[in-house]
Structure 1
Amino acid sequence: MRLDVGLVTCLATFSGLAEAFWRLPCRGRAGLARLDPLVDRGKDSPHVHAIHGPDTFSMSADMNSLRDSSCTSCAVTQDRSAYWTPALYFMHENGDTEIVNQVGGMLAYYLLYGHNVTAFPENFQMIAGDTYKRDFKWPIPDPPTSEWSGEETSQAALRQKALGFNCLNYNQAAEPSLGRHFLPNKTYLDEHCTDGVRFEIMFPSCWNGKDVDSHDHKSHVAYPSTVMDGTCPEGYDTRIVSLFYETIWDTYAFKNKKGTFVVSNGDPTGFGYHADFIHGWESGVLEQAVKKCTSLSGRVEDCEVFNIQSEDDQRKCKFEVPTLLKNENVYTHKGGLPNNLAVQYGPAYAGPVSNTTATSTQAAPGASVSASIELSIDLPGIKGHVMLEQSTSKGSTTAPTWTATPTTSYIEQAVTQAVVYVEQKVIVLVDGKGTPLATETGALETVSTVMSTATNVISTVVTTPTAPPAKRDTHRHAHRHVRNGHHH
């Protein structure tokens, strides 16, 4: 894996109007930990995040605490915002996992799409994506935006189209950003993505004009009609800066190794990829940047508003991991993901099930395997019944292969499914008041296996490009900005 730091810029106009933007490098990673002050405020998060920003990031971080930091892992020193996404792991055949190397930190694009674009208000924060999604019911690949209609223009559809998994091969033409909304399977990655995979996510840029947050950290914002640009829905008429994250993971380092890639939230599909943002820019600076940083180069160095620090200084900025998590190894983990988080393939909506251990079950080529783990808990302060459905596949894959022709066809095949019923002992340690302190899990034991055969769609062959390729930035790709979309 190489990182080409040569900058390539691309200018584009539409109806005589050019789009301004800047590309914010965050070459340092402030930390890797189970922290998420938006969704899991004041406690540890179920899954690991790769976090960029200030050294005051914590379980209870907010705008004020971020601004009180002494450094940031990003290039512009006046920006103390926090940017974070789930990390990527490789799960070996024996179930052990290790972190995939993150290349070049991350890039946060600030795109000035739309009219009368405003800066984020004080205390603004938001989330993009849904950690529990495991399916995609819309056409693959996306039809031209001019053909979107009906449910395809709904916020539910736009949220999923805001995810991208860009197969990188710097010796070939670049794929379009947001051109593929799922994580390719390992065979495809080994054969085509010699420079890794660039995870991409677009945040909503239409705001209701009053709330700086909401109960789900999403409802106060919405996507414009074509995800990156277009018209805002009724009630979300204020256009804020369009925020777009890119993070490259060195998947090619695992070429020819047996196993699978899994996002840290237990998602091997990519449909549950997500990202978080807490505004922490120094007061007034982002407002100035929106007005003055209108260079089409995208370089933060080309805007006089910004104070730029070196890449070495960016990499030095680290936050202190809280005592609760300080001894947790989030780089490698035996028998599964950190926190023993369950791997859930879908297509059903995933659940917040953790403290489970993956098992390897042999299946015939072309067969799929699903395991049900049934847990009953009856302790002071805790009573419940949990059913975990876990699926894996060997041989044939259900992940569609992204290709460049105008039709979609489906391949059917007789698929043998082995439903394996297993038991697992779970011990929940509580104090005298019944408050949970820790959880211990035993090994999975197979109770019975039921076999069934059915004819299912086992593969999708996709045909039609979403947009002509044309982008490379500091990772050797250039952004091309037009009023009707974000093309690469």
Structure 2
Amino acid sequence: MKYHLASGALAALSLAGTANAFWRMPCRGRTALERVDPIVDPGKISSHAHSVQGSGAFAESVTFDDLRSSNCTSCQVTQDMSAYWVPSLHFMYANGTTVLVQQDGGMLAYYLLYGDDPKAFPPGFRMLAGDPFQRNFTGLAVPDPAKPWTGKDVTQDALRLKALGFNCLHYSVNPPEGTLYRHFLPDKDFLDENCSDGLRLELMFPSCWNGKDLDSDDHKSHMAYPDQVITGDCPSGYETRLVSLLYEVIWNTQAFKGVDGQFVLSNGDPTGHGYHGDFITGWDEDFLQSAINTCTSESGEIEDCPLFNIQSEADTQLCKAEVPEALADDNCEGPNPTGICGGVQVQYGPAYATMGSSNSSATATTAPSYTGSTPLVPTLSYQTSQRSFASDKYGGGVTIEAVTGVTPAPSPTPVTTELIGTTTFTSAGAVYEVAIEEVDVYVTETATATAAAKHKRHLQRHHANRREHGLLAQ
């Protein structure tokens, strides 16, 4: 089976400080599913569960040296002993019983090389993105205004809210929505009707560092977002640009189509506004800096970096962290008739959540309610006119919105695949063609291309009846 893609050939950089080089770190295994968070709750049991990828040394308290000393990682590059974690997604039946939603393909951690001279994470560096207590999107337009953003849209508070993405996947109908396009969790009716291939949760971490602190009291204030979240300029006091980190996790929400209930994150959040993630570096700093300087392929594939030692997906599944004795009977995977593990309450907001525990009830504590312009049921239309295809076999892919005012790249010719038929997408902004897929693909370059390039990769489908492709454009 082959995809025949036609797109602009690496159009000239249209934004100061942008880059077209990156790699996508596949962490296919899950190191742990447990109520542990060594950043927020060091040395004790966390209030809610996390899906953890990376070093097998993950624990209630963990240091850089601990991560480095592990004999395994659930990521495919064996030099990466970092720890990556996000709240797990659960389905709550009408009677309050919860089960874990299947996580398709583990996690993808994107290392995006933005900035003039991005730096490696120093030893001991850690950070948190998102706010587990957030339940609203007050004061900001839905959908986002066209870039470049200005005014209230570039405050750090606004950028943090916009660093979350809930990407509806339905390959037989439309290409996926753009990265960080929708900033809240669609309700179940919308997911059932529109997202036949699941939901891709996305989290962008801040990449602007104050240049001195490895952590901070809130685990955030030593970092800041550039003014366009992924791209753009760093604010004063945070001029050191680190390698940019973005998480993707795909959840098989379609498995619950037609079933009475709701989806809820492990921190008791059914809105998505409280999605968050944590990172502790486990890279050798010099090695990571060499990878940043050397691994500048436009494919995003780890196989195209000569420095990486790559293990099989099967081996990533073998790396497991030790379960704390206090959690031996914790039932986070379910079925759990008492609700979310840890007894976390479901809180809709819009008020700031308390994340209190209550084992006496597995029902929502507050009726669905929103303030401002955010609707409970998303009504955003699909914006495909500024995007071109690239894909990962599990449905991963990054889309970075074009900024107005740049010179348009030539329009790509129609995209034809055996899976979705023939359709046409026109690029109104500068288009990057970046193949981040494992498919048999022929790429015909336009714009500055002088010859056609043939790229062939093997597609392994994660479901016999699922269709795989993602997006990437700038």
Asked if the contact 2:386–2:401 (Cα under 8 Å) also holds between the matched residues in 1, the reply is no
Unaligned runs of 5+ in 1: 361-369, 372-389, 406-463
Number of the residue aligned with 2:92: 91
2:367 equivalent in structure 1? 391
Give the whole-Å Cα distance in 2 for the aligned partners of 1:90 and 1:23: 28
Give 1:81 shift. Answer: 0.1
Stretch of structure 1 that moved more, 9-18 or 52-61: 9-18
Q: Which has the higher strand share?
A: 1
Residues 142-197 of structure 1 show CA distances to partners (whole Å, capped at 9, x for unaligned) of 11122x23222100000010000000112122211110000000000000101100
Show the counterpart of 1:302. Answer: 304
Task: Please tell me whether the aligned partners of residues 8 and 478 of structure 1 are also in contact (alpha carbons under 8 angstroms).
Answer: no
Distance 1:477 1:26 in 2: 12
- Structure 2: gaps spanning 5 or more residues: 404-429, 431-471
User: How far apart are the structure 1 equivalents of 2:287 and 2:4?
Assistant: 25
Give 1:33 shift. 0.3
Residues 46/70 of structure 1: CA separation in 2 closer, same or farther (3 Å cut): same
Name the structure 1 match of 2:102: 101
Identity %: 50
User: 1:423 maps to what in 2?
Assistant: none
Q: Is the 8 A contact 1:176 1:469 kept in 2?
A: no
Following TM superposition, by how much is the alpha carbon of 1:61 offset from its aligned partner in structure 2, in angstroms? 1.2
2: distance between equivalents of 1:154 and 1:287?
30
Post-superposition offset of 1:14: 3.7
Letter in 1 for 2:292: V
Partner residue in 1 for 2:43: 42
Superposed CA RMSD in Å reads 2.6
- Structure 2 vs 1, CA of residues 207 and 133 (structure 1 numbering), >3 Å: closer, same or farther? same
Residues 166, 184 of structure 2: 8 Å contact kept: yes
Q: What corresponds to 2:235 in structure 1? A: 233
Aligned mate of 1:13, from 1, 4, 11: 11
CA contact (8 A) 2:175 2:384 kept: no
- 1-structure distance, mates of 2:154, 2:61: 35
Q: 1:6 to 1:99 in 2, by over 3 A?
A: farther
1:256-275 to structure 2, matched below 5 A, reads 256-275=258-277
1:398 to 1:19, Cα distance in 2 relative to 1, 3 A: closer
Report the CA distance between 1:400 and its aligned residue.
3.5
Cα deviation, 1:191-225, whole Å, max 9, x if unaligned, reads: 01011000000000000011111001100000000
Correspondences of 1:157-172 after superposition (within 5 Å): 157-171=158-172, 172=174
State the one-letter code of the partner of 2:241: R
Q: Assess, with a 3 A threshold, how the Cα gap between structure 1 residues 46 and 478 changes in structure 2: closer, same or farther.
A: closer
Identify the residue that residue 473 of structure 1 maps to in structure 2.
Answer: 392
Structure 2 length-normalised TM: 0.79
Paired amino acid for 1:78? Q
SS state at 2:247 partner? strand
Distance 1:483 1:46, change over 3 A: same
C-alpha contact (below 8 Å) 2:250/2:395 kept by paired residues: no
CA distance in structure 1 between the partners assigned to 2:204 and 2:286 by the alignment: 24
- Correspondence for 1:402: 379
State the shift of 1:334 in Å.
1.3
1:161-200 alignment, distance < 5 Å:
161-171=162-172, 172-200=174-202
CA distance, structure 1, for counterparts of residue 229 and residue 205 of structure 2: 9
SS of the aligned residue for 1:145 comes to coil
Contact 2:19 2:115 in 1 (8 A): no
Aligned match of 2:418: none
Q: Show CA shifts across 1:360-393 (max 9, x none).
A: 6xxxxxxxxx85xxxxxxxxxxxxxxxxxx3258
For 1:73-131, what per-residue CA distance to the aligned partner results, in whole angstroms no more than 9, with x for missing partners?
00100110000000000000001111001001010000001111111111100000000
For 1:125, the equivalent position in structure 2 comes to: 126
1:340-379 equivalences under 5 Å are 340-358=343-361
Residue 239 of structure 2 aligns to which amino acid in structure 1?
D
8 Å Cα contact 1:19-1:482 kept in structure 2: no
Distance 1:317 1:270, change over 3 A: same
- Structure having greater relative contact order (Cα 8 Å, sep ≥ 6): 2
Cα contact 2:349–2:368 (8 A) shared by 1: no
Deviations 1:445-484 (A, max 9, x none): xxxxxxxxxxxxxxxxxxx789546443232454456895
C-alpha offsets along residues 287-328 of structure 1, whole Å, 9 cap, x if unaligned? Answer: 110110000010101101110001111111111101111121
Question: Which residue identity does 1:104 align to in structure 2?
Answer: G
Aligned AA for 1:125? R
Asked if structure 2 preserves the Cα contact closer than 8 Å seen for 1:86 and 1:273, the reply is: yes
> Residue 414 of structure 1 corresponds to which residue in structure 2?
none
Residue pair 1:76, 1:307 contacting (<8 A) in 2 also: yes
